[in-house]
Amino acid sequence: MDKAFLRNLITAPGPSGYEQAPSRIWREAAKAWADSLDWDNLGNSYALVMGTSGSDYTVVIEGHIDEIGFIVTHIDDNGFIWFDKIGGWDDQVVVGQRIVIRGSEGDVTGVIGKKAAHLLTPADREKPTKISEMWIDIGAKTKDEARARVSIGDPAVIAGDPIELTDDLWASRSMDNRTGAYVAYRATQMLAEDRPAVNVIGVAATQEEIGLVGATTLSWHVKPQVAIALDVTHATDYPGADKKSDGEIAVGGGPVLGRGSSVTPTVFEGLRDTAKRLEMHAPVQASGLRTGTDADNIIRSGANIAVGLVSIPNRYMHSPSEVISLTDLENAAKLIAEFVRTITPESDFRP
């Protein structure tokens, strides 16, 4: 487990469309073992490990590296900054947070403000505060003072370093989905150390949170025979969780295997059988129509790719304190690497 690398990924600001910082960290680390590195115009990063067979048969292991965040939309005469969401925030989580704006001259720290509860009418106190009613305060007194540090279109993320709740459980923003990008890195690294027959490309994909965009681009850029998508999924081991809908999913309970319309049945079966062989607990989570992950766009890209989905249990998704298990990350990487080692140039995943 490379905790230092994971921490660097988690803390690097990189909301959808502005993933450059974590992507550079991912590629720089992959230089140590990849046969070649590349990235495309959308920002997707690719780390290639050549297989032993000499075949063109290729497997992609992909996790998106973007996170939800914010974007500056207006600076008023008093230097207060107005903003919009990048991705799916629960507005109530945003109130009162500290924030980092990625300015062209460097990071700018601010706080998210709103009218104090004391000043609200009783009726207004019962209403949820909307993003449009909040602003960012960077301590500027005028528009010109704020504009010297911040520009329209600058991205921002919630401030704060990861915290270790236990030796195994970490809490932070951006676990969705730096953890998936981390597992894609680790699984491909494991395969570089003990090479499979087929080629493997680890991918840190971009712009998942705003429409699974990077997944479509990588599908046609690489056109692999098989792709394993990695993401987080909702744990159901907290009060009020809906186990009837999301299943028995626990943080620390093992990587989760996706099954449903966006997953190729034979790839799911291969991952399931590999987990059994490793004696690894890997619960199954069903999705009738869409998984809400990059698997959806990869299988629907038209590039004729067989698709699997492995997810990391996550509590409090899309919040500044998402909770995951380090053991789940390492087991997900081991599971995927071992599954890829079962693939040969003759492997046929047509259902």
Residues designated catalytic: 208
> Phi-psi region for residue 36, left (φ > 0), alpha (ψ -120 to 50) or beta?
beta
Q: Which helix (H) or strand (E) holds 350?
A: none
Amino acid at 191: L
Output Rg (C-alpha) for the chain, integer angstroms: 21
Q: Is the dihedral angle over the CA atoms 272, 273, 275, 281 positive or is it negative?
A: positive
> Phi-psi region for residue 265, left (φ > 0), alpha (ψ -120 to 50) or beta?
alpha
Tokens matching residue 343: 């693939």
Contact call for residues 177 and 9 (beta carbons, < 8 A): no
Amino acid at 263: V
DSSP per-residue codes, 208-263: -TTTSHHHHHHHHHH--SEEEEEEEEE---STT--HHHH-S--TTS--EEEEETTS
- Residue 288 has, within 13 A of its CA and on its CB side, a CA count of 2
Secondary-structure percent of the chain, ordered helix, strand, coil, rounded to 5: 30, 30, 40
Amino acid at 270: G
Q: Which helix (H) or strand (E) holds 265?
A: helix 265-277
Q: At what angle do helices 20-30 and 3-11 cross, to 10 degrees?
A: 160
